Amino acid sequence: MLNRRTLLTASAATGLFLAAPPLRASGRVSYRLVMAPTQQKLLGDDKPETALWCFNDSLPGPVLRARQGDVLRVEVENRLPQPTTVHWHGIRLPLAMDGVPGLSQEPIPPGGRFVYEFALPDAGSYWYHPHWGSAEQVGRGLYGALIVAERNAAQAWDREALWVLSDLRLDKEAQITPDFRLPMDLSHAGRLGNTALLNGLLAQNFSVTPGERLRLRLINTANARIFALRFAQHRPWLVALDGHPLPPRQLGEDAPVTLGPGMRADLILDATGKPGERFTVSDSDPRGRRYALLDLEYGPQPVGAKFFGKDLPALPPNPVAEPDIARAERLSLTMSGGAMGQLTEVSVDGKKLGLREAFQQHRVAWALNGQAHTEQQHGPGHGHSPPLFSLSLGKSYIIEVINETMWPHPLHLHGHAFRVLSQDGQALADKPFHDTVLINPRGRAELAFMADNPGDWMLHCHILEHQAAGMMAVVRVA
């Protein structure tokens, strides 16, 4: 089902580093991003070029790099045939820079520009993508990594690498199929691609040097694919989730790193193989069948690396406000709908409809607390959606999420990071901070955070077809 070819001679890592060097002046980093149609040979020389929409003609877009505490300034130019915006996924920033059309800014019209400028309070692995018609715009190739280096941490790895994981749905001519609102995708698992990509290329080999310690940043930018990576014969340490450090935790023998769309993980991997060896990194498809995503390919020479096998210090925590769990107010969020779900009636942008009508008239298939918001609601001239939750600035909350559907949902909150206290009734020992958490089918989770960032923030499923089909809401902090 998934293409896994070795036609390309370029190493999987080379697609990435096309960014012009950033202009740096003490604590300020500036970039320019042009969003435009482009072409790229994805499947090898004997196949046609694939028409894509990209940032700076590159798939993924350029890696934006800055240091914690820097001010990032990005001038965006829209040369797409549609309006757009850019959202900085996971960055805790002022609402006006959040890139949500109708909520935080007017969309950038074709031919228009917008300058985003904000400070970066947290170190870690983040990413950027449009938030206008995201299912189509991200699905055509508009996404890129934003890497924020720690301000005060000694490097404890020999080399850093970035894996931007994604997939595309391609036809026989290597073109992206234009069926962006297929009823099947809206109401089932979302738009799953048929071609997995690593850093914008067909996933194949990743070169490692025997005896090095790698920091591997994984970012899932796919519309709908949930990656569950297993590293044969390796036991990586998990050191950060969604950018936020946690006490290093070594993965069990066959335990996967599971990332829903939008989610990130930072791993430390000791290259324990010998020169010339190969080890498979596998993923599992939605039915749980494993396929080889790529091979770790060991080079011929071991290096005298400095950090291999040493003690692993935790990364310094980000300055996220600690929720006051004992005094937090509890809220509940029920996810419903989708194929094989029980939802029969839904309120669409404030109007009660039967699910069938809601789907026929508005392509709505999902609800949060019985309410669905359509993308029009966040579009130009439609003003704000009424908030699903109105929170008091400075107060702590625990949202209990209950997934009544038969589908997993990566739930994303803008403007904040939350601790995941429990999942499916099990308390989590390290209560990691996340901005996106995967809620299992018929599962639940408790999310705790302090509402410390004023504004109207999106809360939505990051399976972009579920978002398009109503699974989003506004959380007001005032």
- Residues binding Cu ion (CB under 5 A): 409, 461, 463, 466
SS (H, E, C) 225-282: CCEEEEECCCCCEEEEECCEEEEEEECCCCCCEEECCCCEEEEEEECCCCCCCEEEEE
Q: Are 294 and 198 in contact (CB under 8 A)?
A: yes
Q: What is the nearest approach in angstroms of Cu ion to the Cβ of residue 431?
A: 23
Binding residue (CB under 6 A) for ligand C2O from 460, 465, 473, 474: 460
- How many CA atoms are closer than 13 Å to the CA of 156, on its beta-carbon side? 18
Of 104-112, 174-182, 341-349, 458-466, which segment contacts ligand C2O by CB under 6 A? 458-466
Interacting residues with ligand C2O between 31 and 70 (CB under 6 A): none
Binding mask 65-94 for ligand C2O (x = CB under 6 A): ----------------------x-x-----
Query: Of these partners, Cu ion, ligand C2O, none, which one is at the site of residue 362 (CB under 5 to 8 Å by kind)?
Result: none
Helix or strand holding residue 359 (H, E): helix 355-362
Q: Are 402 and 341 in contact (CB under 8 A)?
A: no
Query: Of these partners, Cu ion, ligand C2O, none, which one is at the site of residue 131 (CB under 5 to 8 Å by kind)?
Result: ligand C2O
Tell me if 363 contacts ligand C2O by CB under 6 A: no
Tell me if 412 contacts ligand C2O by CB under 6 A: yes
DSSP track, 398-414: EEEEEE-SSS-EEEEES
Exposed/middle/buried for 111, CB within 10 Å: 0-12, 13-18, 19+?
A: exposed
DSSP strand pairing (371-372 vs 345-348): parallel
Distance of CA 74 to CAs 16, 71, 88, 106, 424, Å?
Answer: 19, 10, 11, 17, 40
Q: By beta-carbon distance, which residue lies closest to ligand C2O?
A: 89
* Adjacent-strand bridge partners of 13: none
Nearer to ligand C2O, 229 or 473 (CB): 473
* Adjacent-strand bridge partners of 290: 284
d(CA 188, CA 461): 13
- How many CA atoms are closer than 13 Å to the CA of 73, on its beta-carbon side? 10
Query: Of these partners, Cu ion, ligand C2O, none, which one is at the site of residue 460 (CB under 5 to 8 Å by kind)?
Result: ligand C2O
Nearer to ligand C2O, 271 or 399 (CB): 399
Nearer to ligand C2O, 458 or 477 (CB): 458
Query: Of these partners, ligand C2O, Cu ion, none, which one is at the site of residue 248 (CB under 5 to 8 Å by kind)?
Result: none
Tell me if 273 contacts ligand C2O by CB under 6 A: no
Nearer to Cu ion, 448 or 461 (CB): 461
d(CA 274, CA 295): 14
Q: Are 214 and 268 in contact (CB under 8 A)?
A: yes
Nearer to Cu ion, 37 or 441 (CB): 441
Sheet holding 144-149, edge to edge: 64-67, 144-149, 124-129, 87-89
Query: Of these partners, ligand C2O, Cu ion, none, which one is at the site of residue 215 (CB under 5 to 8 Å by kind)?
Result: none
Tell me if 458 contacts ligand C2O by CB under 6 A: yes
Tell me if 466 contacts ligand C2O by CB under 6 A: no
Tell me if 459 contacts ligand C2O by CB under 6 A: no
Q: What is the nearest approach in angstroms of ligand C2O to the Cβ of residue 136?
A: 15
Smallest Cα–Cα separation from 339: which of 475, 184, 220? 184
Interacting residues with ligand C2O between 210 and 269 (CB under 6 A): 262
Interacting residues with ligand C2O between 107 and 146 (CB under 6 A): 129, 131
- What residues line the site for ligand C2O (CB under 6 A)? 87, 89, 129, 131, 262, 412, 414, 458, 460, 462
